[in-house]
Structure 1
Amino acid sequence: MVIRQAVRLISDMLESVTDDAYFEARQIVSEISGGKMPFEEITDAQLIECEDKAKRRKTGEPLQYILGNWEFYGRKYFVGEGVLIPRPETELLCDIAKAHLKNTGGTAVDLCSGSGCIAVTVALEANVKAVGIEISDKAYGYFLKNIEQNKAERSVTAINGDIFDKNILGRFEDDSLYAVLSNPPYISSADMKALQKEVTFEPELALFGGEDGLDFYRRLIPMWAGKLRSGGLFAVEIGEEQGQAVSRIFEGAGFNPEIIRDYSGHDRIVSSIKR
């Protein structure tokens, strides 16, 4: 059997679980075959492995976990059970940070780092130092692997800890950071009950933001504001209906925030420059 035929076979297996069956089949077959061309042969063992992965996908398991990696901002990141999957919407947060830090330089901190995709991207794209903080041991393991994968050891420091721990906070001087960034858990209790099946495979620790989804913003914005220097950027990703509420939290901490829409037209980032 050639690659093209294998893709069609796997695509047929996935029709019932995804609207992107052909795309996902191509991803699976390419990963297993080592990127062979459409008319090259696939071995029987490789085909069986592709079929096994398709069966996992039919249970609702995310494609990214099945592949073991995913692309973010043009780089590969290892992912798997216990870590949030990088999403395209988060690239906007990196765009904003990159534009700011290319002008200012200095150190950025990424709170609730997960896979480390924000910290690594910002450090490499803006040519600055970044520190990422992640509480989950599993996610922290992926963070370390992704620093190595993307050759960011000189630019990115990973800390396994709680962003609300005063000892962690104490590692940073007041008025020292040029950017504070975060994609924290922001899903509400109501929305947690209505998640797509594949999202339920991701860690609740990285998703659930309290009853109204705003718990992390209420704590991290005032706690970390003092670590940001004058002229520094504070930017967070939000749920598409949280722009006004998160803006009010920023205002309560003395900021003049801006709501930025993503490429689909949804509220996605709240950011402010510290006065």
Structure 2
Amino acid sequence: MTTIGEYRISTQNNLKQLFGEEAPPLCDILMCHYMNVDKSELILKADEELPEEIIFKMNDAVNQLGYGVPVQYIIGNCWFYGQKIYVGKGCFIPRSDTETLVQAALPCIPQNGVFADICSGSGCISAAIAASRKDAKGYALELSYKALPYTERNTEEFPGVEVMRFDALDEDDYRALRERVPEGIDVIVCNPPYIRESEIDFLQQQIQYEPRTALDGGEDGLRFYRAVTEYAGLLLKPHGALLYEVGYGQAGDVS
């Protein structure tokens, strides 16, 4: 018999060889997911037997971690701004740093205002804004056919958010959206691909499991910023706001 506590300690120690201090939380995330418990329950059940089916799933998940698969892809979700966000292969994983963009956008959206989330990916930004501002109307705009099912799933509980396939580099798509929203948009938020093309192959292994199209910002990392900045005026109301997440060292160039 293997107890939950024994397996937990053993797995944490095995993961430390690859992940160091990240090993305990990684192990706990997986165990809580497969056991359908929270961390406090996990600890309280330490002396109980761990079912063989859970051991099998955990061993498989640990092997995937060893190959560099992000834990969010293994369990199929993550948390962003208090919202459970579903993710999978082909969909960029939300980062907690991006919550700052949500915090910046919320006070800029007037009562019953309209926002657009360009390069929406998982739809996490749209979901976070909609959860806080149910009066607002939003457009979650994403090009990738692989990401769009996640965009839709993560925003489906918010009737004020409409998901659309949208190419952030194509002026025609901006004009088509303006025809759909003739009154204009109050706030555009955008977390675009901003990694320099030449740097992508040198990123951490886990990041390279994510879609290259969600990372590749072109030769200098600024391709999407140029396009969105150029075309945003086709959508924004007078005195509307355009808010970006930018990569390290890019703020000056983007501004």
Establish whether TM, by shorter chain, passes 0.5. yes
The residue aligned with 1:113 is 120
Q: How does 1:21-100 map to 2 (within 5 A)?
A: 21-35=23-37, 36-38=41-43, 39=45, 40-100=48-108
Residue 213 (1) aligns with residue 214 (2)? no
Structure 2's unaligned 5+ residue stretches are none
Q: Distance in 2 between matches of 1:37 and 1:143?
A: 31
Specify the alignment match of 1:244 in structure 2.
Answer: 252
Q: Find the counterpart in structure 2 of residue 262 from structure 1.
A: none
Shift of 1:34: 0.8
Secondary structure at the counterpart of residue 17 of structure 1: helix
Q: Report sequence identity in percent.
A: 31
Aligned to 2:4: 3
Distance in 1 (alpha carbons) for counterparts of 2:69 and 2:102: 27
Instruction: Considering Cα pairs closer than 8 Å and 6+ residues apart, tell me whether 1 or 2 has the greater RCO.
Output: 2
Any conservation in 2 of the 1:175–1:230 contact (CA below 8 Å)? Answer: no
- Residue 171 (structure 1) aligned with residue 172 (structure 2): no
Aligned partners of 2:194 and 2:247 also within 8 Å: yes
Q: Which deviates further from its counterpart, 207-216 or 155-164?
A: 155-164
Measure the CA separation in 1 of the matches of 2:239 and 2:13: 54
Equivalent residue, structure 2, for 1:181: 189
Kindly state the Cα deviation for residue 166 of structure 1 after the two structures are TM-superposed: 4.2
Residue 42 of structure 1, CA deviation: 2.1
Match of 1:13 in 2: 14
1:228 has 2:231 as partner: no
Normalised to the residue count of structure 2, the TM-score between the two structures is 0.90
Q: How does 1:199-210 map to 2 (within 5 A)?
A: 199-210=207-218
Give the distance between the partners of 1:233 and 1:161, measured in 2 at CA.
20
Letter in 2 for 1:185: P
Alpha carbons of 1:198 and 1:184: their partners in 2 closer, same or farther (altered >3 Å)? same
Pairwise CA distance, 1:15? 1.4
Distance between the aligned counterparts of 1:18 and 1:130, measured in 2? 39
Quote the Cα distance in structure 2 between the aligned partners of 1:171 and 1:246. Answer: 24
Q: TM-score, normalised by structure 1?
A: 0.84
Shift of 1:70: 0.4
Q: Aligned AA for 1:4?
A: G
CA distance in 2, matches of 1:159, 1:143: 9
Deviation string, structure 1 residues 133-174 (Cα, Å, up to 9, x no partner): 1111110011111123xx21x121111231333443222246
- Determine the structure 2 residue equivalent to 1:269: none
Task: Name the counterpart of 1:261.
Answer: none
Correspondences of 1:191-206 after superposition (within 5 Å): 191-206=199-214
Gaps of 5+ in 1: 248-275
Secondary structure in structure 2 of the residue aligned to 1:37: helix
Counterpart for residue 162 of structure 2:
157
* Aligned 8 A contact 2:92 2:122 in 1: yes
CA deviation after TM superposition for structure 1 residue 80, in Å = 1.0
What amino acid maps onto 2:16 in structure 1?
E
Give yes or no for contact 1:110–1:181 (8 Å, CA) kept in 2: yes
SS of 2:148's equivalent in the other structure is helix
Secondary structure at 1:164's aligned position in 2?
Answer: coil
How far apart, CA to CA, are the structure 1 residues paired with 2:227 and 2:58? 45
